[in-house]
Amino acid sequence: MVRRTPCEAGPSFHDIQVDKSLQRLHKRIATEASPGFEQKFQFVEGLKSKAERRRTRAFLTKQHYRRKRYEELESATHSEDTSNIAAGAGVSTSKSSNAPASGAQIPKDEEREIVETHIMLRSHRVRTSFIDYLGRGRGDPFNSYPILATRDVHELVDHYYFVIPSLVHRHWHRAVRKPRSCWDLFNLYRKHEIPFLCMLHHAALHLATLKGQKESLQTMEFKQRSLEAVNRSLRLLQGPCDEWTIMGIGLLANAERVWGDRQVARLHWGALKRLLLERGGFPGLQHNPPMHTKIVWSFIAHSWPTMDGNPAYLDETSDSVGISMGNRTQLSGSAYDRSCDEFVEFLSRRKAQTLKALPSTADQHKALKDHPFRTSSFRAGSELSTALENFETGYNDFEKRRAVDNCRMASLILLNLIMAELGDFSSQTEKYLATLQQILEDDDDDSDLSAEHLLWTLLSMPTDQGHYDRVWKTSRLIGVVKRTSSAMWSTIENILRNSMRLPANANDLGIVLQQWSHERFLLEAKSPVDIHTDPARWPTKTSLEAGVNQTLCSTHCNICPLKPATY
């Protein structure tokens, strides 16, 4: 601030009000201390060191008067009437007697700026909160959020970053010491407004579920803000959609799939597929591994079995069937038909490889001993074997298979693709399994390994050049399998699981293989799907309102439906 010189004109109305507030401030500070002032020093006498007592007294005194100045200033500004301020403007042409004399004590610049700011805010009838006094830099010290850091934002960030992960891990005090996937995703979301708002929408939905509420003001606010941000971005498009908007639509689709409306979720998934195909599908996200993993995982875990396109295709011949109201989805051929044939070829090849790998000669028995990871990793009772065990979700129809089923099937497909490509007994397979085991051990906190976590790990560990091709093929194949009946689903799962375990003899494997019929599989996979009728055993409105199966959970979840399958 610049002090007025005697040669300048009379003080302005603004300067007079600042001087009045300063005089009132210092007069009230000079009064006696508050009744509770002495109580703050009672514990100081218990300190052993004289230096510690002196420093503590100084600190408490400083904090006390700092708080007192703030409270006095706030009460002074709020009690000031606007009409009196306006009336005082008429007499401010001459030098006021309340203006400080040349010899009067001038307060510090910092205090004067605070008072001046309050006068300006009050004169414009602006009511400020404590977070406004602190400023955005204090609320978000490193300016790391793409939106203003309000109290709701801080609460939901804390819920997403700490509360939700603490529900997923058995021993959170040990798990918190290691990097978590949700923290990597948080650092990804905060780079742009759209995914950050959608993340807050997820956190608000989960927080409302914990409180027993179907919907809260926070969920409505951040859902509306997320939709506005996405629509604003789509209106400005002049080419392929940017990846942040795609990520936001994916998060909205997940939220509706888990907590919201089924038809709205279908609309989000359809839009996401079309926008991704315009960018070239999943390969267009290959440069951003966390985003690629999140989008692919979401498609596998949460998307419905439809024929209206799959972003995992590498060419332009993709199924893009327009879904009109009241009509059934019709087969368009091309990519989806190729995926059906691709799955039949994959399973037939895997069956033949498994039969050849059964130990019947001395060389094959030696191969088993030379590859301990391949032999023991999927043995009954192992961590991987337990995560890949069948878990009954309570729904027979493919429309309501939950994330745990989809992730388990996708993990089986991806692991069998690796064995089929690298060989059951090869140095590359052994190295891959050793790396996987090390990652799982480093990430262990004594919690059971879930199928969702296993799939995330498999998708996010590129070990060779063919990793992404196998991931995209897995997405195509799981999209086909999702359209089969529960009996066919179980048959496919048993075949893939036994191929990983390497049965002791051909008879055990033959019992499983004889249940497979590729003709029946193709008939089920290519049957049209009615997207407007509720599938069998769909939860009733009463059960949904009660929170039954509202949130997807992992295997052996003890706090369902409060535990989310993903972040």
241-261 pLDDT per residue, tens: 899 999 999 999 988 888 878
> pLDDT by residue (tens digit) across 195-231?
999 999 999 998 998 888 888 889 999 999 999 999 9
| Strand partners of residue 347 | none
In the chain the first and final C-alpha atoms are separated, in Å, by: 50
- For position 71, what pLDDT does the model report? 75
Residues near 165 by beta carbon (within 8 Å), at least 6 away in sequence: 172, 175, 176, 180, 182, 567
Cβ atoms within 10 Å, residue 267 = 15
Most confident range (mean pLDDT) of 212-226, 526-540, 551-565 is: 212-226
Contact present, 204 and 219 (Cβ < 8 Å): yes
d(CA 409, CA 406): 5
Return contacts of 83-92, CB within 8 angstroms, 24+ apart: 85/13, 85/17, 85/122, 85/123, 88/13, 88/16, 88/17, 89/13, 92/10, 92/11, 92/12, 92/13, 92/16
What residue type is 406 in one-letter code? N
Per-residue confidence at 527, pLDDT binned at 50, 70, 90?
Answer: confident
- pLDDT above 70 coverage of the chain, percent: 61
Q: What is the pLDDT of residue 552?
A: 33
314-339 tens-digit pLDDT: 544 344 333 333 333 444 456 788 88
What pLDDT does 135 receive?
A: 39
Length of the chain: 567
Query: What average pLDDT does range 155-161 have in this prediction?
Result: 88
CA nearest neighbour of 498 among 423, 417, 412, 414: 412
**Mean pLDDT (whole number) for 123-133:** 44
The pLDDT of 465-476, averaged and rounded, is 90
> Cα-Cα-Cα-Cα dihedral of 242, 245, 250, 252, to 10°?
-170
- Among 260, 352, 365, smallest CA distance to 302 is for 260
Q: Classify residue 529 by its DSSP letter.
A: B
Tokens linked to 222: 């951040």
Question: Would you state the pLDDT for residue 295?
Answer: 92
Entry pTM: 0.66
The two three-digit tokens of residue 314, written as one number: 């590498």
Each domain of the chain, given as residue ranges in start order, spans: 10-32+62-92+104-128, 151-302, 335-530+537-545
Min mean pLDDT across 28-42, 222-236, 383-397 is at 28-42
CB atoms under 10 Å from CB of 71, counted, come to: 12
336 or 137: which carries more pLDDT confidence? 336
pLDDT score, position 248: 94
Q: Report the range out of 140-149, 183-192, 351-360 with the highest average pLDDT.
A: 183-192
pLDDT at 562: 34
pLDDT at 73: 73
Distance CA 127, CA 125 (A): 6
What three-state secondary structure class fits 463? coil
- Mean pLDDT for 482-507 is 84
Buried (b) or exposed (e) across 30-47, using 16+ Cβ within 10 A?
A: eeeeeeeeeebeeeeeee
CA gap 51, 106 in Å, rounded: 33
Tell me the CA distances in angstroms from 458 to 145, 165, 248, 266, 465, one per residue in order: 30, 20, 23, 27, 14
| Lowest-confidence pick of 303-307, 413-417, 438-442 | 303-307
Residue 355 has pLDDT above 90, yes or no: no
Tell me the one-letter amino acid at 212: G
CA distance 362 to 382: 26
Q: What is the pLDDT averaged over residues 485-512? A: 82
23/263: higher pLDDT: 263
Is residue 446 a contact partner of residue 170, using CB atoms and an 8 Å limit? yes
- Give the residue, 114 or 405, on which the prediction is more confident: 405
Residue of higher predicted confidence among 270 and 15: 270
What per-residue confidence (pLDDT) applies to 102? Answer: 46
pLDDT per residue as tens digits for the range 389-416: 886 655 554 455 677 888 999 999 999 9
Task: Return the HEC string of 161-223.
Answer: HHHHHHHHCCCHHHHCCCCCHHHHHHHHHCCCHHHHHHHHHHHHHHHHHHCCCCCCHHHHHHH
Annotate 252-261 with b (16+ C-beta within 10 A) or e (fewer). Answer: bbbbbbbbbe
> Computed from CA positions of residues 188, 191, 195, 198, in that sequence, does the dihedral angle turn out positive or negative?
positive
Q: Tell me which of 54-58, 383-387, 498-502 is least confident.
A: 54-58
CA dist., res. 248 & res. 254, Å (int): 10
What is 307-364 written as a DSSP string?
SS--TT-SSS--------TT-PBPP--THHHHHHHHHHHHHHHHHHHHHHHS--SHHH
Q: Which residues 6+ apart lie within 8 Å of 522 measured at CB?
A: 340, 344
**What is the b/e burial string over 480-507, where b = at least 16 CB atoms within 10 angstroms of the residue's CB?**
bbbbbbeebbebbbbbbbbbbbbbeeee
Q: Rank 379-393, 414-428, 526-540 by mean pLDDT and report only the highest.
A: 414-428
Q: Which residues contact 126 (CB under 8 A, 6 or more apart)?
A: none
102 φ, ψ (degrees, to nearest 5): -65, -25
Cis peptide before 561 (omega within 30 of 0): yes
Longest dimension (CA), the chain: 111
199 vs 190: CA distance, rounded Å = 9
Give yes or no for residue 183 having a pLDDT over 90.
no
Q: b/e map of 12-22 (b: 16 or more CB within 10 Å)? A: ebebbbbbbbb
Residue 445: pLDDT over 80: no
Comparing 137-146, 177-186, 266-275, which segment has the lowest mean pLDDT? 137-146
Q: Please tell me the predicted confidence (pLDDT) of residue 247.
A: 94
Cα Rg, the chain, nearest whole Å: 33
Q: How far is CA 192 from the centre of its chain?
A: 13
Average pLDDT of the chain is 72
Burial class (CB within 10 angstroms; exposed 0-12, middle 13-18, buried 19+) of 283? middle
* Separation of alpha carbons 254 and 272, rounded Å: 11
